[in-house]
Amino acid sequence: MAMTTLASLPFPAIGPVALDIGGFEIRWYALAYIGGIFLGWFYVLRLVANDRLWGGEAPVSRQTIDDLLVWAALGIILGGRLGYVLFYNSAYYLDHPLEIAALWRGGMAFHGGLAGVVIAVIGFARARRAPLLTLGDLMAAATPFGLLFGRLANFVNGELYGRPSEAPWGIVFPGGGPEPRHPSQLYEALLEGVVLFAILRIATHRFGALGRPGFVFGLFVLFYGTFRIIAELFRMPDPQIGFLPGGLTMGILLSAPMIPIGLVFIWISRRGKPAGNGEA
């Protein structure tokens, strides 16, 4: 029996454009990035203002976080775009280099965005003589907001959908053929957004993780890598790449090293000096 006869949920007819003002389109994907960045910034300010989480005065000031916002935003956008160009569609962009700047046409990669933020934070920390690992912890604590909104925007756009599914919650995506498919974007929103935020929130508010520089960043890298690999088991690989040898995907290949890297940062945090020694 063809899979088209299986029960499935309808795809919501929302469309990728949130607002159209005289031909000027504001897309859900752009709003997801903006909302994730500013909500994450607000959350980081709350963390910095709570001395109890640090075992003393936070080692960074509000002004430091305000200044870091621009650096982090540029790291996310530039790194995310270049990561997509290099990891997922390099052949196309070699032939069409001017298209690299066409962000409004989509094409961002989380791993590239992560690398961009890491580079931005390192540069900022050196320029401002701010505590690098603490800044990394704060950025990691805020990142699940952007991941949640970004994956929801992927779902609204009908992109990055999952593999064919016989589950009763399978969805027939536009452009995904007649088969019901896993809503893998929602799986990622749940794991990378909600569950990961809960883990980091418990670590910071119940176990004083911010008092050990590098610990929150290590947790983030460890669990993101784990959750992304799980999600990749349900997600279709990008069509221009397909499956890699052994049934792997590019997402799995890029995420697997994150697990040992996260463990290394957790180990470093347990051996380092505690935070809470004043502002920078």
Q: What is the DSSP string of the chain?
A: --GGGS--BPPP---SEEEEETTEEEEHHHHHHHHHHHHHHHHHHHHHH-GGGTTSB-SS-HHHHHHHHHHHHHHHHHHHHHHHHHHT-HHHHHH-GGGGG-GGG----HHHHHHHHHHHHHHHHHHHT--HHHHHHHHHHHHHHHHHHHHHHHHHHT-S-B-B--STT-B--TTS-SS-B--HHHHHIIIIIIIHHHHHHHHHHHS-GGGSTTHHHHHHHHHHHHHHHHHHTTBPPPTTT-PPGGG--HHHHHHTTHHHHHHHHHHHHHHS--S-B---
How many Å separate Cα 80 from the centre of its chain?
10
For 7-19, how does the pLDDT look when each residue is reduced to its tens digit (9 = 90+)? 678 898 787 788 8
What pLDDT does 54 receive? 94
Report the chain's mean pLDDT, rounded to a whole number.
Answer: 91
Instruction: Quote the CA–CA distance of 192 and 197 in Å, as a whole number.
Output: 8
Q: Which two tokens stand for residue 5?
A: 């006869």
Task: List, for residues 185-223, the tens digit of each pLDDT value.
Answer: 999 999 999 999 999 999 999 999 999 999 999 999 999
96-150 per-position pLDDT tens digit: 898 888 876 778 999 999 999 999 999 999 999 999 999 999 999 999 999 999 9
Query: What is the reported pLDDT for 278?
Result: 54
**Confidence at 1, pLDDT banded by 50, 70, 90:** very low
Burial of 233 (0-12, 13-18, 19+ CB in 10 A): middle
On the question of pLDDT at 279 being above 60, the answer is no
Residues 128, 135, 69, 278, Cα dihedral to 10°: -60
pLDDT higher than threshold 70 for residue 45: yes
- Is residue 4 pLDDT above 60, yes or no? no
Give me 257's structure tokens. 């090293």
What pLDDT, on a 0 to 100 scale, did the predictor assign at position 127? 96
Query: What's the pLDDT band for 183 if we cut at 50, 70, 90?
Result: very high
Question: Which pLDDT value is given to residue 102?
Answer: 80
Rounded Cα–Cα distance for residues 20 and 66 (Å):
31
Q: List the end-to-end C-alpha distance of the chain, in Å, as a whole number.
A: 65
Higher pLDDT, 212 or 5: 212
- What pLDDT shows up at residue 119? 97
Q: What is the pLDDT of residues 50-101, one digit of tens each?
A: 999 998 899 999 999 999 999 999 999 999 999 999 999 898 899 889 888 8
Q: What is the pTM of this model?
A: 0.91
Q: Give me the mean pLDDT over the 241-260 stretch.
A: 96
- pLDDT exceeds 50 at position 2: no
